[in-house]
Amino acid sequence: MSRKQLARSGGDLSQLSGDDTGCTILHLDMDSFFVSAELLSRPELRGRPVIVGGRAGRGVVVSASYEAREFGVHAAMPMSVAVRNCPQAVIIPPSRGLYGEISRRVFELVGAVTDEYAQVSVDEGYIDVASAQRRLGRPAQIAQRLRAQIEAETGLTASVGVAATMVVAKMASARAKPDGMLVVPTAQVSEFLGPMSVEALPGVGARTQEVLASYGIRRIGQLAQADPAWLGRVLGAHGAVLGGYARGRDRRTVHERARDHTISAEHTFGADVYRLADLELELLRLADTVAYRLRAEGQAAGGVGLKYRTGEFATSSRSVTLPAPTDVAAELHAALLPALRTLHENNRKGVRLLGLRAADLVRIEDAGRQETLDAAEHTPREAELALDAVRAKFGRTAISQASLLRRGERGEGTAR
């Protein structure tokens, strides 16, 4: 169980009435998705600690069974630490294609309920069932029926939170795990949220938690009582959002799924990388991967983010708003190059991990891309679409950008 999930404990859930009036937002979260998917073909491993992830070199945990989580194993943990914590665990390398196929089947079932849903990852999504109630019944009934259909169709279980807002629904699904459903009545939101650590709220990281603790605010109930103007002074613009979350208020809607959804890729090097040229090349490789996924989904990114982690696990993040939404690798790469170069200049330690995230997504037809008068006859986007066509016919590795061929196979690190 992740640190966030642990923080979402607290309070007596038996006191919740179960009244789902007005609770039209569902948060669907598949239970231990990657492990559960692997166990479909390995039923003999059920009940044992199982970890999905890479074992060689600097492999990390992708997912852990609940039995492994009891030993402190969680996603994104270095595999070396996970094995030390749980040496009896069975380690399974990730299977290509399996998770995407199961995810597609799950969200086909969701789509049969309503088209008002936002898939935010391969195993997680928000569903607005307001328009489906007349046809399918009350929100809790819809949630239970959907959970049963998913298990019958895929053999996997899902937990669902039912609430009036996205933030409360997400926190409810975490409390419902595994294989459960939790309704948070609108009249009991404060009762549900109040006892939890502020760390449980989305957007509260270690630094924000530290700042709030310095003022004696450790529980969500305490945060909910804080003056909004004071929160703004202490935490900036984000303070108002967190204050709203603490009171169960969330202005986001499922209709905004394109903006909330992100597409990302990251790479952990086999050895710390020191040369800027190697980092720039890896950034281009990540941009190529993310742009390919954007085009596959018919999306364009309005913003892009960089994740930069040194060998000492110090992580820096940088975000850039793009001049216009794009699905072109060259433009994603160019936007983050200044940030990458600045981080490298200010921190000469070797780099362990590099990541790229595309955010603020819009449908490509709504992106409003316009060519300039001096644009070349054939644009970089046309070239990348041509690459897509070849890859669709011969496979993802059949062709690549020429600049990416300067280095050996992916995963090779360059140490000083």
Report, as an integer, the average pLDDT of 152-171. 96
- Domain assignment present for residue 300? The answer is yes
388: domain CATH number?
3.30.1490.100
Rounded CA separation 368/280 (Å): 29
Rounded CA separation 103/37 (Å): 10
The catalytic residue among 38, 108, 124, 371 is 124
pLDDT at 363: 72
pLDDT at 54: 84
- Domain assignment present for residue 87? The answer is yes
Percent of the chain with pLDDT over 70: 83
Do 108 and 205 have their domain in common? no
Do 205 and 147 have their domain in common? no
Do 92 and 114 have their domain in common? yes
- In this predicted structure, the answer to whether residue 165 has a pLDDT above a threshold of 50 is yes
Do 174 and 45 have their domain in common? yes
Report, as an integer, the average pLDDT of 239-254. 91
Do 285 and 394 have their domain in common? yes
- Domain assignment present for residue 8? The answer is no
Do 317 and 349 have their domain in common? yes
- Domain assignment present for residue 12? The answer is no
Do 38 and 178 have their domain in common? yes
pLDDT digits (tens, 9 = 90+) for 396-412: 454 455 555 554 444 43
Percent of the chain with pLDDT over 90: 58
* Among 177, 212, 247, residue at a domain's last position: 247
- In this predicted structure, the answer to whether residue 375 has a pLDDT above a threshold of 90 is no
DSSP per-residue string spanning 282-316: HHHHHHHHHHHHHHHHTEEEEEEEEEEEETT--EE
More confident: 257 or 114:
114
Closest C-alpha to 235, from 260, 215, 249, 259: 215
Report, as an integer, the average pLDDT of 326-342. 94
Do 231 and 337 have their domain in common? no
Strands 181-183 and 158-163: parallel
* Among 135, 158, 185, residue at a domain's last position: 185
Q: How many domains does the chain have?
A: 3
- Domain assignment present for residue 409? The answer is no
Report, as an integer, the average pLDDT of 149-176. 96
Amino acid identity, position 241: V
Do 47 and 127 have their domain in common? yes
What is the pTM (predicted TM-score) of this model? 0.68
Do 211 and 145 have their domain in common? no
* pLDDT band for position 377 (cuts 50, 70, 90): very low
Q: Which helix (H) or strand (E) holds 332?
A: helix 329-346
Do 85 and 128 have their domain in common? yes
Report, as an integer, the average pLDDT of 28-48. 95
- Domain assignment present for residue 412? The answer is no
- Domain assignment present for residue 349? The answer is yes
Q: Which residue segment(s) compose the domain that 310 sits in?
A: 263-367+377-404
pLDDT digits (tens, 9 = 90+) for 61-90: 889 999 999 999 988 888 989 999 999 999
pLDDT digits (tens, 9 = 90+) for 345-358: 998 889 999 999 99
Q: Is 123 marked within a binding site?
A: yes
- Domain assignment present for residue 113? The answer is yes
Residue 255, strand partner residues: none
106: domain CATH number?
3.30.70.270
User: Dihedrals φ, ψ of 372, to 5°?
Assistant: -85, 165
Q: Is 179 marked within a binding site?
A: no
Note if 124 is an active site residue.
yes
* Among 139, 165, 185, residue at a domain's last position: 185
pLDDT at 197: 94
Rounded CA separation 288/294 (Å): 10
Mean pLDDT of the chain: 85
202: domain CATH number?
1.10.150.20
- From the CB of residue 327, how many other CB atoms can be counted at a distance below 10 Å? 27
- In this predicted structure, the answer to whether residue 416 has a pLDDT above a threshold of 60 is no
Do 41 and 143 have their domain in common? yes
- In this predicted structure, the answer to whether residue 413 has a pLDDT above a threshold of 50 is no
Rounded CA separation 97/101 (Å): 6
